[in-house]
Amino acid sequence: MRLEARAKINWSLDITGLRQDGYHLMDMLMQPISLCDTITLLPAEDFSLTTAGFPLLKADDRHLAMRAARLLQEHTGYPGGVQINVFKRVPVGAGLGGGSADAAAVLWGLNQLWHTDLSLSELEALGLQLGADIPFCLRGGLTRTQGIGEQMENLPCGRYYSLVVTQPCRGLSTREVFQAYHASDRVLHPDTAAAAEALASGDLLPLRRALGNVLQPVSVRMRPEIGKAISKLKEAGAEIALMTGSGSAVFGVFRTPAKARAAFSSLAVLWPATFLARTCPESIVLLEE
């Protein structure tokens, strides 16, 4: 089985509280994009993992794809294993959810391949044990995600957008970004409900006014290149330019594919990890079975 494991963007990211166990309570609008890793799953007696592409991650038991496979086996009691290959395209430490997408694709694919017949909600609950973005990466669509990633609401989507995504600097530690956020004295919160309405209507003007990412200011202070990339995207014609997740990737929204291609040509000269993409309805796509 061969699958596309698609990255995601945050249209908005807000922090609404902190649980006693230290987990942050989030309020986010997320959507899959066409930038993806490719996951290949082959039935086997035992477990093995190979990786290819860029960035090349170490193929060991700490890899989220392997952890997802072993978790599903432990949960279902399936007697066999799997050979996994992960071909990476999604940058790491970028806020694009690449590792979460890989784990979600493994859970979804093995549930089919092994005939373990778990429901989507059961897979989402398993995924949450490994990472907060994995339930979303299983569900896909335009989604408002709250809590620690377990509360999801599917939203209507008025249109799909052409994007340029770039990672202008090395990755950021999510933990360090959150620590810096708590040390900051001024936070500008997005209007998540208004952003959801604008995404439903496909109207860029109210969308631009409503969007925001409360982690962006602190991430820009930690990596000034993020702010530079946002400025360059706007100079290149982006209607909206915003950091996704805790960074360090940013995305620009363009009215037409042609405008996105022109911006890509200029930004790829500055930052090699620059990609043409578009928003999509699905997080996981079956390519071959």
**Residue 158, SS3?**
coil
pLDDT-derived band at 217 (thresholds 50, 70, 90) equals very high
Handedness of CA 52, 54, 58, 61 (dihedral sign): negative
Q: Does the global pTM surpass 0.85? A: yes
Same domain for 110 and 180, yes or no, is no
Q: Across the chain, what does the average pLDDT equal?
A: 96
Whether the per-residue pLDDT at 186 is higher than 90: the answer is no
Q: Is residue 287 domain-resident?
A: no
If one counts every other C-beta atom within 10 angstroms of the C-beta of residue 154, the result is 11
| Domain limit, last residue, from 155, 186, 206 | 155
For residue 128, the model assigns a pLDDT of 96
Asked if residue 110 and residue 32 are part of one domain, the reply reads yes
**70: which 2 tokens?**
């072993």
Residue 55, pLDDT > 90, answer: no
- 87 & 130 share domain: yes
Q: Quick check: 19 pLDDT over 90?
A: no
Confidence of residue 221 (pLDDT cuts 50, 70, 90): very high
How many domains does the chain divide into? 2
Range 36-63 average pLDDT: 93
Q: Which of 184, 86, 201 is nearest to 142 (CA)?
A: 201
Domain that holds residue 234: 162-278
What pLDDT is attached to residue 195? 98
List, for residues 72-106, the tens digit of each pLDDT value. 999 999 999 999 999 999 999 999 999 999 999 99
Domain final residue pick, 134, 155, 176: 155
Give catalytic residue positions. Answer: 8, 133
